[in-house]
Structure 1
Amino acid sequence: YDSCVNSVSDPSIFVIFEKHQVYPEYLIQYTTSSKPSVTPSILLALGSLFSSRQ
């Protein structure tokens, strides 16, 4: 209520007129990780290793 956006279909700018109306619904926090990612070839190798056991 009592706010505006630059585009109704794809808003990127939100204008709020009263300070008490500005309250985030969600808070998203990002952190960096130094862990290396697993490559698909390693996953395929592990999958074939476990599928050969019976």
Structure 2
Amino acid sequence: MNRTMMTATNTLNQLQSKIDQISKNIANVDTTAYKKTQTSFNNQPSERMR
């Protein structure tokens, strides 16, 4: 169960980072020299429990 909680926590942190990045892009879209930044997620290989 501890591993499940860590996975959920990591996922939520990644999603929060993506939401933060989107909100910054929206807030700055009308500024001079605006550059869009992108956040991407990669699937990491799952580890086997031994």
Quick check: which one's strand share is greater? 1
TM-score normalised to the size of structure 1? 0.28
Quick check: which one's helix share is greater? 2
TM-score normalised to the size of structure 2? 0.30
